[in-house]
Amino acid sequence: MTILLIVIIGLAAVAAVLLPILRPQHEARAGSAQTPLDDAAIESRVEAYRQALRTGTLCLRCGFANAEGSLFCAECGERLVAAMVSARSDAGT
């Protein structure tokens, strides 16, 4: 029984060392598969972030630029600043 526990702990230790070593290779492969954005695509993304910053719909947790009027992040579900501001002004009045 003790030997089994030692083997399990040993395997967990080996996995903890090997997984971070193996992971960057997967990310590099995934990154190279992405096509680079052209100028128009970059500009439209910048405009989406600009709009999200103005309207308070930029997610503070994941950085996703949500559409105007959004109360929660479409990417991660976090409550957005715009929702907090409107809730606060509702409570104040």
Mapped onto helix, strand or coil, the DSSP state of residue 72 is strand
Q: Is 73 a residue that touches Zn ion (CB under 5 A)? A: yes
Total residues interacting with Zn ion, rule: CB under 5 A: 8
Round to whole Å and give the CA distance between 67 and 57: 7
φ and ψ of 60, to 5 deg: -80, -20
- What token pair was written down for 43? 């500009």
Q: How far is the CB of 48 from Zn ion (least distance, A)?
A: 14
Q: How far is the CB of 1 from Zn ion (least distance, A)?
A: 46
Q: Is 76 a residue that touches Zn ion (CB under 5 A)? A: yes
Q: Is 75 a residue that touches Zn ion (CB under 5 A)? A: yes
Residue 8 Cα distances to 12, 16, 35, 78, angstroms: 6, 12, 42, 37
Q: Pick from 48, 78, 79, 83 the residue near Zn ion by CB under 5 A.
A: 78
Q: How far is the CB of 85 from Zn ion (least distance, A)?
A: 17
Interface residues with Zn ion (CB under 5 A) are 59, 61-62, 64, 73, 75-76, 78
